[in-house]
A and B are shown apart, each in its own frame.
Chain A
Amino acid sequence: MKPIIEVKGYSFVYENTTKKVLDNVSFVINEGDFVGIIGRNRSGKSTLCESLVGILPFVMGGSWEGEIIVDGKSLNDTKGAGATDVIGIVFQDAESQFTQETVEDEISFAMCNFGYSRELMRERILYASEACGLRDMLDRSPFKLSGGQQQRLAIACILALQPRVIVLDESTSQLDPVGRDEVFNLITKLHAAGSTVIMVDHNIEKIAEYVNKVLVLYEGKVVEFDETHKVFQNKEKLNAHNVRIPQITDAALQLKDQLEITEAPIRMEEAKLVFDRYKREVGIK
């Protein structure tokens, strides 16, 4: 697996403050990974996302130590430039990032700024709108879309630039269940098609269901970074860092002895198998 993002001893302090919001953070994300970043509020998740694309510190300021290497290039050397060619970021509040009157113009906006040719733009608008299920809405106003559609549009805008990595910072927290599933399904498709995905989300059940690695942040430090099913076995440790585990995992861990399992299921299909087996063998009244 080829590393696409390498974070080495990275610390960050916002301007006019003294607290290290990120404190000596190191980890590697490989091409094709689907990583969930979880942690309590103010643990540094958004700061980390914005640092990966170079918004922090190179655009918004702040002081830092260590380095972030994106696709082999240190952002320290490029002053953050180049990261946005590789990584696209979608924020929590999609609506606040829209400026255009139609979905089509919104998708074109970044491409115009990057000086794409008209033909290439046309091609990418079709690709991104198709991938995000917005093909029939190109002449609609971004501001009149539903929450799920707006998030899909925000994703389409970065998809048009064909980044190799997509970062989603709490993109589903304002959505209803239908909108949330729309976003998760879309992201899963993009991941299956080869994109590297980094997703910050509070919905632990969905994170467990979809991602293959989990990074836990606590007070600016990485306290856990491993495969999803391993991370969620350690309830006490996660709880101590103000993160819960999926409900089905929690239940299975509490019934571990009766179920005779060494590892608790983290996904619904796995849980069904475990409990079904027990039901067959022992019988549940």
Chain B
Amino acid sequence: MKECIIQTQDLVHTYPTGVTALKGVNLSIYRNDKISIIGQNGSGKTTIVRHFNGLLKPTSGKVLLYGTDTTQQKVGEMSRKVGYVFQNPSHQMFCTTVKDELEAAPKNFGFTAQETKDAVEEVVELMNIKDVLNVHPLTLDYTTKKIVTIASVLTFKPDVLILDEPTGGLDEAGRVMLTNIIEMMHRNGHTVIMISHDMDYVAENSDRIIVMCEGEIIDDGVPEDIFLNAPVLQRAQLEPPQITQLDLYLENGNQSRAILSVKDFVDKYKQNIN
């Protein structure tokens, strides 16, 4: 049995505006999970992940991080364990150069000068951003900003990496790079939680999918099952990837598992056609 690292118990969150974004959510996240949380805007996706590192506190119910109530832990310490990449990169940049931006978190978490240097060099290499190190982050184009914010969180290799809409504005090369990073983190035992509207990407890059709708979890399972569950997807106003849709059409809904990628589809039909 995998270790449960984050658990929410009857978690309710009501914002000061009176909007209840989470309506009693029970969820367990295990070490080395590779999870996507999907759902429409306003379904509670961002609200729930902001409870995982204590950025938000429950209105009622509990969130346990490594078995301890998040209200009993310091946000700074939790942020070291749970790294969060915001959807809008401009919301998490505050230094005047990319280099300072990348050094900020490791320094903050008490890395030595050498450790900070090594950590920054590693992500700069990994994400190919050497040419922008001395640039003001806010003058970068959207995609590069996005890559820099992911890099800044990777510097301290958090146990749990949360990516809020990471593919928004990324091109193919960016998506491949992101996939490599997710794979690397997963392979090294980290837990990756992604919020995304990008169903093609979710289908190919998750071991588990959580579907949210109006502040509740309406499905939780493997992608092969989730993308077969038409009523749930319809309720959450989500569409499976294009290739999944074509297979669903051809099989008239009689298949036992959803096709998740072009390769899956080609393998299946090559076999069946010949």
Q: Do A and B bind?
A: yes
Interface residues in chain A, defined as those with a beta carbon under 8 Å from any beta carbon in chain B: 39-42, 46, 92, 146-147, 170, 173-180, 202, 205, 242-244, 246-248, 250-251, 254-255, 258, 268, 271-272, 275-276, 278-279, 282, 284-285
**Partner pick for A176 among B40, B173, B265, B269, CB 8 A cutoff:** B40
Interface residues in chain B, defined as those with a beta carbon under 8 Å from any beta carbon in chain A: 40-42, 141-144, 165, 168-174, 197, 199-200, 237-239, 241-243, 245-246, 249-250, 262, 265-266, 269-270, 272-274
**B198's closest neighbor in chain A, by CB?**
A203
> Contact at A248–B243, with CB atoms within 8 Å?
yes
Q: Given the complex, which residues of B lie within 8 Å of A250, measured CB to CB?
A: 262
> Contact at A41–B250, with CB atoms within 8 Å?
no
> Contact at B173–A40, with CB atoms within 8 Å?
yes
Q: Given the complex, which residues of B lie within 8 Å of A178, measured CB to CB?
A: 40-41, 237
Task: Please judge, given known A-B contacts A251-B262, A272-B249, A282-B273, whether A243 and B172 are in contact too, CB under 8 Å.
Answer: yes
Once the chains are docked, how many angstroms separate the CA of A147 from the CA of B173? 26
Q: Given the complex, which residues of A lie within 8 Å of B144, measured CB to CB?
A: 41-42
> Contact at B41–A248, with CB atoms within 8 Å?
no
Q: Given the complex, which residues of B lie within 8 Å of A243, measured CB to CB?
A: 171-172
Once the chains are docked, how many angstroms separate the CA of A179 from the CA of B199? 15
Which of A176, A258, A284 has the most chain B CB atoms closer than 10 A to its own CB?
Answer: A176
Q: Is the interface of B mostly helix, strand, loop or mixed?
A: helix
> Contact at A275–B169, with CB atoms within 8 Å?
no
Expressed in whole angstroms, the minimum distance between the Cβ of B139 and any Cβ of chain A is 11
Q: Given the complex, which residues of B lie within 8 Å of A244, measured CB to CB?
A: 172
> Contact at A177–B197, with CB atoms within 8 Å?
yes
Q: Given the complex, which residues of A lie within 8 Å of B171, measured CB to CB?
A: 39-41, 202, 242-243
- Considering the complex of A and B, which 8 residue pairs feature the smallest CB-CB distances, nearest first? A247-B243, A40-B171, A41-B143, A247-B242, A41-B171, A285-B272, A258-B273, A176-B41
Once the chains are docked, how many angstroms separate the CA of A271 from the CA of B265? 13
Once the chains are docked, how many angstroms separate the CA of A268 from the CA of B246? 7
Q: Given the complex, which residues of A lie within 8 Å of B269, measured CB to CB?
A: 251, 255, 258, 284
Q: Given the complex, which residues of A lie within 8 Å of B170, measured CB to CB?
A: 41, 202
Q: Given the complex, which residues of B lie within 8 Å of A246, measured CB to CB?
A: 242
> Contact at B168–A42, with CB atoms within 8 Å?
no
> Contact at B200–A179, with CB atoms within 8 Å?
no
> Contact at B41–A146, with CB atoms within 8 Å?
yes
**Selected A-B contacts with CB under 8 Å, 16 pairs:** A40-B171, A41-B170, A170-B169, A174-B168, A179-B41, A243-B172, A246-B242, A247-B243, A248-B246, A250-B262, A251-B243, A251-B265, A251-B266, A254-B262, A255-B270, A258-B274
Q: Given the complex, which residues of A lie within 8 Å of B262, measured CB to CB?
A: 247, 250-251, 254
**A178's closest neighbor in chain B, by CB?**
B237
Q: Given the complex, which residues of B lie within 8 Å of A40, measured CB to CB?
A: 171-173
Once the chains are docked, how many angstroms separate the CA of A247 from the CA of B241? 8
> Contact at B41–A275, with CB atoms within 8 Å?
no
Task: Please judge, given known A-B contacts A40-B173, A41-B170, A275-B246, whether A284 and B237 are in contact too, CB under 8 Å.
Answer: no
Task: Please judge, given known A-B contacts A248-B242, A272-B246, whether A258 and B168 are in contact too, CB under 8 Å.
Answer: no
> Contact at B141–A251, with CB atoms within 8 Å?
no
Once the chains are docked, how many angstroms separate the CA of A255 from the CA of B270? 7
Expressed in whole angstroms, the minimum distance between the Cβ of B265 and any Cβ of chain A is 5
Once the chains are docked, how many angstroms separate the CA of A4 from the CA of B90? 37
Which of A173, A242, A285 has the most chain B CB atoms closer than 10 A to its own CB?
Answer: A173
**A278's closest neighbor in chain B, by CB?**
B273
Q: Given the complex, which residues of A lie within 8 Å of B249, measured CB to CB?
A: 272
> Contact at A275–B141, with CB atoms within 8 Å?
no
Expressed in whole angstroms, the minimum distance between the Cβ of A61 and any Cβ of chain B is 15
